[in-house]
Copies of this chain bind each other. A is one copy, B any other.
Amino acid sequence: MKKVTIAEVAKRANYSSGTVSAVINAKNSVKPATRDHILKVMKELNFRPKGVARNLKKATQDKSIGIIIKDLNYPFYASIATGAREYANSKGYSVIVASSESDHEREKELSHLFSEKDIKGAIIAPTVEGRAEIEHLFQLRMINYPFVLLEDVKGIQANVVAIDNSKAIKRAVTYLIDSGHTKIVHFAGPPNSSHTQERIEGFRHAFSESTLAFHKDMIVSIGSNYDESFAKTLEYFKSRSRENYPTAIVCFNDLQALAVLTALKELKLCVPEDISVIGNDDIYYAKIYPVPLTTIRAPQHEIGKRAAEILIENIESATVLPPKRVVLDTEFIIRESSKVLKH
């Protein structure tokens, strides 16, 4: 199945390529009868003019940026994308989004796709599996392709807009300790995520600055998707006696926290009376939930906006700019899923 070109259409229709081009571009210099005839031939041959070739000569260059997120369905990323989109749109850029599904290979493919399609730059939530596989980032850098990462990646100095996960969790845990909780556990995320590591670190750090001792049993791996977290929560509580229940759970993220809340309800445990639950991210649905979730708010909108800002600055710069690193503050939001035990 060979590609049909404009030349073939022209030959078949007995007109020149210029006229066919005029038809495609809806120029009004073409006689209606000619136009109809050429359109008919185009349809017969299923002629699809190659966008790549069309744009080569075209004067007007479109402006567009891409975002590679890890999960289309997790509202956290959708909000970041929206923040980026709003800023980019205000600067005249279109925005397209793609999901890597936390798959390093797919991330690589997508970043190639973006650069090959002349998407002017990319915001990337990077997935680094095992040892740092970051050739694709160096590849982008080689062709001076502007990009901004949403997490630090070891081994490359690049534009980064991120939050301090460790500090954020530490703050929440310190709050729990200060409010009299002693039996605190962390329901941790997927082991291969750098976020998981940072959050565990923050958890430990809070203990090291308190009078309480950290114990590794306090870290419970509980998966990242809802169903898995729900099941593992049930399992966790069923496998221990009531006096060994924690009084507070710090979750990896809000979706997981919602799963925990639902599981606790099924176990007839009350939140926050029996157990305090703290989430992370402050996704849209965290505050909609009937027991509004105490959580650590990542400024999703702002993250997207700042990333887009830096990206566009790089795109429009005539020279290669030095990498920028922005760490945004999180906000600890106390709602109704946590309670103070003593003062």
- In the complex, A290→B291 CA distance in Å? 9
- From A78, A115, A118, residue with most partner B Cβ within 10 Å: A118
Contact digits for A86-99, partner B, Cβ 8 Å, 1 yes 0 no? 00000000111111
Among the 9-residue stretches A44-52, A179-187, A329-337, the one with 4 or more Cβ atoms under 8 Å from chain B is A44-52
- In the complex, which residues of chain B have a beta carbon less than 8 angstroms from the beta carbon of A118? 50-52, 117
Contact check, A62 vs B113: say whether CB atoms are below 8 A apart: yes
Q: Is the CB of A73 within 8 A of B317?
A: no
User: Are B144 and A51 within 8 A (Cβ)?
Assistant: no
Judge whether B72 and A85 touch: CB under 8 Å: yes
User: Are B81 and A72 in contact (CB-based, < 8 A)?
Assistant: yes
Least CB distance from A305 to B in Å reads: 15
Cα distance, A94 to B99, chains bound together (Å):
10
* Interface size classification for chain A: 35 or more
From B46, B96, B98, B318, give the contact of A46 (CB < 8 A). Answer: B318
Q: For A284, list chain B residues within 8 Å (CB).
A: 73, 226
6 additional contacts (CB under 8 A) given A1-B318, A259-B288: A42-B142, A42-B143, A64-B113, A72-B97, A73-B284, A85-B99
Listed in ascending order, the chain A residues whose CB lies under 8 Å from chain B are 1, 24, 26, 39, 42-43, 46-56, 62, 64, 66, 72-73, 75, 78-79, 81-82, 85, 94-99, 109-110, 113, 115-119, 139, 142-145, 226, 258-259, 261-262, 265, 284-285, 288-291, 317-320
